[in-house]
A and B are shown apart, each in its own frame.
Chain A
Amino acid sequence: MQYMLLIYGEESAWAKLTPDQLSAEMGAYMAYSEALAKAGALVAGDELQPVATAKTVSVSNGKQTVVDGPFAETKETLGGYYLITVDSLDDALAWAAKCPGARYGRIEVRPVVMR
């Protein structure tokens, strides 16, 4: 089964990291990606740029509106994702718990539509 690991966290936390801490975080993510790849579970993964770079489109009454900024102004925002292939939810949860983002943010685990 394929699952998406959606990494939610507070962007401001990144700004507070020292260069060393930042580099350690990046290292942790790289190690995590490698572990996933080695286990044959990694399908894809990406980091998103900060929400300040976002634009949101919606259509109401036939009119399209474009707003600067993310869809929702929430404390924790979507920072990235991993798409993995594993046998069951428990396997996906185990990987989610190992994701560096789980330590300070939240990882939402959702199965992918396979059609």
Chain B
Amino acid sequence: MKYAVIVYETADDFAAREDERSKTYWDGHGAYFGALQAAGIFTGGAGLKAPHTATTVRLRGGARQVVDGPYADIKEQLGGFYLIDVENLDAAMAWAEKCPGAATGAIEVRPLVEMNQS
């Protein structure tokens, strides 16, 4: 089954990407990514740039509304996600616990809708 391992990061986590902790930060995710690949379960995902780079779009009455910033002003923001293909939820949870973001932020695990389509 396919799951999204969704990483929520604090402002400090985002800062760690760029300051003196950056090597640790990126090495951590690099190692995790390597582990997912080695286990043969990685199917996709992406790291997102920090929330200040976000722009939010709505279409209302046919008109485009564009606003600077992420969709909600919450303390922990989406930092990225990994897509994995594993046996079941427990297996997905086991991998989520190993994700670097778990120690400081939070990891949400959610199954993907799998459609039989081309």
A residues with CB within 8 A of B: 2, 4, 6, 8, 30, 44, 46-49, 51, 53-59, 64, 66, 70-72, 74, 76, 78, 80, 83, 89, 93, 96-97, 102-103, 105-113, 115
Contact present for A111 and B49 (CB under 8 Å) = yes
How many A-B contacts are there with CB distance less than 8 Å? 136
Residue of B nearest to A56 (CB): B108
- Within the complex, the shortest CB–CB distance from A78 to chain B, in Å, comes to 7
Known: A46-B113, A54-B110, A58-B106. A106 touches B58 (CB 8 A): yes
- Within the complex, the shortest CB–CB distance from A47 to chain B, in Å, comes to 4
**Interfacial chain B residues near A6, Cβ < 8 Å:** 71, 78
Contact present for B74 and A93 (CB under 8 Å) = no
Residue of A nearest to B47 (CB): A113
Total count of chain B residues near the partner, CB < 8 A: 47
Q: For the complex, would chain B's binding face be called helix, strand, loop or mixed by DSSP majority? A: strand
List CB contacts (< 8 Å) of B1-59 with chain A: 2, 4, 6, 8, 26, 44, 46-49, 51, 53-59
Contact present for B49 and A110 (CB under 8 Å) = yes
Contact present for B71 and A57 (CB under 8 Å) = no
**Interfacial chain A residues near B80, Cβ < 8 Å:** 113
> 9 additional contacts, CB 8 Å, given A48-B110, A97-B59?
A2-B46, A6-B78, A47-B113, A57-B106, A57-B108, A71-B76, A74-B74, A93-B64, A109-B56
- Within the complex, the shortest CB–CB distance from B118 to chain A, in Å, comes to 10
**Interfacial chain B residues near A49, Cβ < 8 Å:** 110-113
**Interfacial chain B residues near A110, Cβ < 8 Å:** 48-49, 51, 53-55, 70, 78
Known: A97-B57, A97-B59, A102-B57. A54 touches B108 (CB 8 A): yes
Contact present for A113 and B48 (CB under 8 Å) = yes
Contact present for A57 and B107 (CB under 8 Å) = yes
B89 at the interface (CB under 8 A from A): yes
Contact code string B62-99 (vs A, CB < 8 Å = 1, else 0):
00101000111010101010010000010001001100
